[in-house]
Amino acid sequence: MISTDENTPISWAALEFLAKSMGQDALARQIKRTTVSDYDQFIDVLYADIDAIVHELQLNPELRKDDDEDRLSIEIKGNLTHLGYGAAHESKIGGHTDLSVQYKGFIWIGEAKINRDYEHIFQGFQQLTTRYATGDEGQCKGGLIIYIKSNNSKQVMDRWRANLNNRGITDLEFVESSIRPDHIFFTRHTHERSGRPFTTRHVGVILGFDPKDHK
């Protein structure tokens, strides 16, 4: 039993218990965040934090049904700011990025699209990989966040993956995700400007809302 009474010092175990309302692993993520010392550690914890934020976003799709890309991205940006990241929407990095995150000198850029059609999503991929990210060390990973407001979000992600695969992108490879594999996958390809490998994390956000009880 964890004591949290007023006279007992708060241990790691007690703080972990108190922080659970912000996710089962909220304290572990905070520790990983504040002890980041290299780019891969930054990316690992950032992705865990984004996944936790996406989890919350998905809980109330009825509240998001009228939100556009900007409004949804601003919400993710706000949550990242609360976690301590230097997050921005529409910051000027080769253009106006949907989401940029700076932390301890590392940078990550995300582009966000509603699944209007696959050309629209591809435009986001192109913006991310050819306009915003330099592809240099410490900036060789980015994200494409896809807000899916229709039903069968898994099918949307499957079709997006197939669509991207048919675009003739040089050296494009697909890498599976161990987390939410039906809605997250990675691509790796040669970044045009830097000539270095660039990894994109494609994240589907389930925001469909089509209840059949009241019409």
Partner 1 sequence: MNAESAIHKLAIDWASDKDVQAAGEALIRYLFSERSGQLHLSFRRLIEISNSSPGVTFRLAQYLTGETLPLLKQRFELILDDDVWELEDHQVRFAAVHGQLMHPDTGTPVPHYKEHVFPFYEKGDGLVD
User: Least distance in Å: CB of 49 to partner 1?
Assistant: 10
> Residue 11, interface with partner 1 (CB under 8 A)?
yes
Q: What tokens does 27 get?
A: 């304290």
Question: CA-to-CA distance for 151 and 170, rounded, in angstroms?
Answer: 32
> Residue 201, interface with partner 1 (CB under 8 A)?
no
Question: CA-to-CA distance for 47 and 82, rounded, in angstroms?
Answer: 15
Binding positions for partner 1, 33-52, rule CB under 8 A: 33-35, 37
CA angle 106, 109, 115 (to 5 degrees): 160
- Binding-site residue total for partner 1 (CB under 8 A)? 32
- 31/162 with CB nearer partner 1: 31
Long-range CB pairs of 125-131, under 8 A, 24+ apart, other chains included: 125/164, 125/200, 127/95, 128/200, 129/189, 129/191, 129/192, 129/198, 129/200, 130/192, 130/193, 131/94, 131/95
> Residue 103, interface with partner 1 (CB under 8 A)?
yes
User: Least distance in Å: CB of 124 to partner 1?
Assistant: 25
- 82/116 with CB nearer partner 1: 82
- 85/160 with CB nearer partner 1: 85
> Residue 65, interface with partner 1 (CB under 8 A)?
no
The phi and psi torsions of 166 (rounded to 5 degrees) equal -95, 10
Which range binds partner 1 by CB under 8 A, 11-19, 51-59, 122-130, 148-156?
11-19
Long-range CB pairs of 186-189, under 8 A, 24+ apart, other chains included: 189/129
Please tell me whether residue 66 adopts helix, strand or coil conformation.
coil
Among 1, 9, 176, 212, binds partner 1 (CB under 8 A): 9
Residues that bind partner 1 in the complex, under the rule CB under 8 A = 4, 6, 9-13, 15-16, 18-19, 21-22, 26, 28, 30-35, 37, 78, 81-86, 102-104
